Structure 1
Amino acid sequence: MEVNRIVKSLKARRLSKIGKLDFEATHNLNEHLKLDKRKVLPELTDGLWCVRRLSRHYALEVLHSIQDVLFPPDANSQAFLRSLIREQDMDPDCTLYNRSEYELDGEDDVIYKWLGPRMMDLYEELENPTPRGLLDQWLERKSRARHVMLATVIGVFAAVFLGVLSLIVGIIQTWIAWQQWKAPPSHDA
C-alpha cells in the first residue's frame, strides 16, 4: 500500500461522508485520531499550545495530521473544519497552524511513528465500513464467510443430487429403449 495514497484519503470530510464517521471534540490529546466503539473520531479542543509540551516528533505528527491530513488547505476541508469549530467547540487555533514555525530544515516528510496505527484504523474503516443501520448489520451477518461456505456446500450437494437424478433417468431411458429394441411392437391392422 502506498503511504501517500492512504494519507491523502484520510481527509476529515471524506471520513465523514464515506466512512460515516462523526467527529467529537476531546480534551485528551491521547485520543487524537482514535476511532472508538461508537465510530466517533475525537479531535483536539484544548489549544495547540499543549502540543509543544510533547516530544518534538509526536507534536509534529499531531500538527501535521490536523493541518495536512484531516484538514488540508483546500476550500472544502477548511469549510468543514470551521463547521466543526462552531459545532463541536474545537480549538480555533487549528486554522492558524503554520508548518514553518515548528519544522526544522529537512523535516518536510513526517513519519507517523505514533499515529500511524490509528491512521491505518481509519483507512480500514474507509475501505471496509462497519455496518451502521439494522439492514446493514443484517446483511453483514448474512454475508460472512461461513455463509458463503455453507452456500457452496449446498450448491455442491444440489449438483451431486441432480447428477444422480439425471443418471437414474438415463438408466431408465436406456432400459426402455433396450426393451423396445428387443421386442418391437407389431403393427397388425
Structure 2
Amino acid sequence: MISPQAAQDREKISRQILGKGGDFPAYFKFYDDLARRNNDYHLTVSTSPCPLPVTNIDVLRAAKVITSNLSKTKKETEGQLRKDITSSSDSPDSRYHGNEPAAIGMAVEAMFMIDPAAKERHASDFRLGQHYRPSSWLPDETLASFVERIFPPSLVGSQEAVAAAAAAMEQGQHGALRARKLQKRLGARFRPTNNLAEHLLFDEQRNYLYIFHHVGFLKTQLARYEGGAVEALENIGLRESLEAGTLPPQLLVETLYSLQGVLFPSVDPASAQILDELIDKWRFDPECAEYDGMPQRSSNFRFIYWGERMAHLHQLMTRRPPRNKLERWFHSHSTEGNALLIALVALAISIVIGVVSIGLNIVQIWLTWMAWKYPSASSGGS
C-alpha cells in the first residue's frame, strides 16, 4: 500500500510523462527501481558537497527542460536545469543542488525507456547479440542525435535478407517467429528488458531473447497520436516526437506489433501460454496479454527500426545455430575457411586406406602363390 503523497506523485508522473493518469504497475515498478538505483549510487559516491537525492519534482522539472531545449547538448541541458533549480522557490537548497545529471538521466529513462548511461554500466568489450554495443548520451550531443544513433531509421543490414524475412513472415501470420517456434527451434529463453534499445536482441551464448515488455507504456505513448492512420505515423519526425515527450510513433508501433502480432499472437494458444508464464515468472507487463490496443497494420507496413533484428532471427531459424559442444565442433570445422583442410584430411585418409588395401592384396597373392608352389608343404602341415 503506497502513501497518499506517493499516489499523488504517481498521478503527476503518469499525466506528464505517460500522457494520462491511471494505474501502471509495471511502469512504476521500473520507475521505483530507477529512483532507487540512482539515489543509492549518489549515496555511495563521495563528492563535496554531497548532491541531494533526486526527487519526483526534479524528474518532472528535468522532463520539461529536456523537451523545451532539444537543440541543446546534454551539458547545456544540465546547465539549463541548474538555472531553473536555482531560481525555483520549491528547491530545498537553491545555493547548491548537485543532482542535475542524475535528474536528466532519470527523466530520459522515464520518458523514453532508454538508458542514457548504458555504456558506463558495462565493460568496454561488452557486446549483446550480433552487433549491439551499449551507447551513452555524450556531453556534447543533443538528445535527438543520441536517439537517432541508437535507433537508426534506416536498415543497416542486408536489404535482401530483411525483404526475404518479411516475405516469409507474411506467410501464416508471421508464424516463422512465433514464441513457441523460437523456443523449439532455437531453444530461446525469453528475458525482459526495460531498455528499448535491447529489444529483440538474441544472445546466442545463452539463448536469451531480450524483449521490451512495457506494453502499457507503448499504448499510452501511441494514444497521443490517436486518430492517425498507422501508415501516416511513419512521416512524423523524430524532433516532433521528442517535443511531445514520446519516441517516434513508427518505433512504438513496430515494438508493439512485434510483441503482440509476431512473437505472441492471440491466435496461437501455445505462444500465448508462454506469455502467461513470462508474466507470472519474469514479471512481464500484464498488458502484454491485452490485445485491444494493438494497431492494425496494412499490407504496405514496413519494419523500419526492427527489420534487421527480425531478419537475423529468421536467418537463425532457417539455419539453427549449434546448441552443444559436439554441434559447435562440427560447425566450426565445416565452415568455408576449413573446407580445404577437411578435403586434405579426407584425401589423406583415402590414401592410407588405399595403401593398406594394396598391402593386404599383396599378402593374399603371396600366400596363394606359396600354396600353389609348395603344395606338399601345405599338405604335410595338415
Q: Deviations over 1:100-120 (max 9, x none)?
A: x645xxx42431000000001
Name the structure 2 match of 1:183: none
Provide the residue aligned with 2:168 in structure 1.
5
Q: Classify the secondary structure of the residue corresponding to 2:190.
A: strand
Say yes or no: does 1:57 pair with 2:250.
yes
How much does 1:18 deviate?
A: 0.6
Normalising by structure 2, we get a TM-score of: 0.38
5 Å-filtered alignment, 1:27-46, equals 27-36=194-203, 37-46=205-214
Q: Structure 2: 5+ residue runs without aligned partners?
A: 1-163, 222-245, 359-382
**Post-superposition shift, 1:158?**
7.9
Counterpart code for 2:248: S
Gaps of 5+ in 1: 167-189
Question: 283, 291, 298: which one pairs with 1:108?
Answer: 298
- Which amino acid letter does the alignment assign opposite residue 166 of structure 2? V
Which residue pairs with 2:280 in the alignment? 86
* Aligned positions of 1:65-84 closer than 5 A: 65-73=258-266, 74-84=268-278
DSSP 3-state at the match of 2:177: coil
Of 16, 38, 42, which aligns to 2:183? Answer: 16
CA offset at residue 58 of structure 1? 0.9
Contact 1:44–1:91, Cα closer than 8 Å, also in 2: no
In the TM superposition, residue 47 of structure 1 has moved relative to its aligned partner by 4.3
Equivalent position SS for 1:23: strand
Supply the distance in 1 between the matched residues of 2:346 and 2:215 (Cα, whole angstroms): 60
Q: Find the counterpart in structure 2 of residue 148 from structure 1.
A: 339
Q: Which amino acid is the alignment partner of residue 193 of structure 2?
A: T
41-50 or 121-130, which moves further after superposition?
41-50
Aligned-partner Cα distance in 1 for 2:190–2:207: 9
Deviation, structure 1 residue 122 = 0.8
Alignment of 1:153-168 (within 5 A): 153=344
**Counterpart-to-counterpart distance in 2, 1:132 and 1:2:** 23
CA distance 1:122–1:62, shift in 2 (3 Å) = same
- The question of whether the paired residues in 1 share the 8 Å contact of 2:201 and 2:209 is answered with yes
How many Å separate the matches in 2 of 1:81 and 1:64?
15
Aligned partners of 1:43 and 1:90 also within 8 Å: no
Q: Deviations over 1:76-108 (max 9, x none)?
A: 121111111112211110111325x645xxx42
Separation in 1, partners of 2:166, 2:278: 27
Q: CA RMSD in A?
A: 2.8
> Do the aligned partners of 1:71 and 1:81 also contact (CA within 8 Å) in 2?
yes
Instruction: Tell me the amino acid that sits aligned with residue 97 of structure 1.
Output: Y
Contact map agreement 1:131 1:140 (CA 8 A) in 2: yes
Aligned residues: 161
* 2:316 pairs with one of 121, 125, 132: 125
